[in-house]
Structure 1
């Protein structure tokens, strides 16, 4: 698979997203304990083995590869992302595309855990937060964990009800598969 990168977010759009408030209150709760009143999601899977693989996967996660390799398009203010990065994550073709504005609310950079958390902004179909964390276990296994809490944030997701939750579970599996697909020593391109 060829390397994919995010595109720059238009300056006017970036300013609008930076000025917007998050659509939920429990900022950072994907790292500390999922709040009540939301649907919860947790999915993780092995994506490799060893310190080098952990570092490769962590760099990929911070460069939007979870989303890009899962079929989304990303327009962002930063790549690699940093805390405060705003982005539009877009799924689907042309006029059927679903735009999901987000802000990176936490970046995790620990010896055996790395990744980020983003929260929803106005216009996102859900209200809540999603974390993408790469873990290096004691036995050397590298895992990607996707954790989220959300509730419908638009008429479409309220009407769709359980269909949205099924779609979230499918995407979580795609996210893990996307990072698993990184060829050791090949990504990022040099």
Structure 2
């Protein structure tokens, strides 16, 4: 059962701070609108796996609403990527979560998804940040192509909300 499996990396929770050494890192931010209503809508979508579904991924989650320790199996084509939610962010102007990889995921690391509202300008931003390294023979062999694919999916996440 996935809920009992250990994370495949030692730096659990590290997306909440500076990226740890020894991994590939990326982060993307995109303005997705303005106003409290836009923030509320985007936050609701995010917390119901909307970034993943909107990016075209199959989502099988242990909980319809993102929660700490919820397990999610995301898929694209033949790819199957099991993850577990590490933390949830629930602040007045920031909403999000991070999940970490479990055994069977082609990568080892963590990804953070967030929606942020700037109360001064009213701008609403979607954010994705991650650190990872290859965990399977084919992700190691894929090298730069795997990294490009990760970045492409991350940009699709931003467009999804």
Deviation digits for residues 49-97 of structure 1, max 9, x if unmatched? 01111111111001001010111000110011111100110111xxxx1
Cα distance between partner residues in 1 of 2:18 and 2:63: 28
Cα distance between partner residues in 1 of 2:63 and 2:29: 26
- The residue aligned with 1:17 is 2
Q: Displacement of 1:31 after TM fit?
A: 1.1
Cα distance between partner residues in 2 of 1:56 and 1:27: 29
The one of 95, 116, 119 aligned to 1:135: 116
Q: How does 1:7-156 map to 2 (within 5 A)?
A: 16-92=1-77, 97-137=78-118, 138-156=120-138
Cα distance between partner residues in 1 of 2:54 and 2:137: 28
TM normalised by structure 2 equals: 0.98
Higher Cα Rg, which structure: 1
Q: Which runs of 4+ in 1 moved over 6 A?
A: none
Aligned alpha-carbon RMSD (Å): 0.7
Higher strand share: 2
TM normalised by structure 1 equals: 0.83
Cα distance between partner residues in 2 of 1:64 and 1:71: 11
- The number of equivalent residue pairs is 160
Cα distance between partner residues in 1 of 2:68 and 2:44: 15
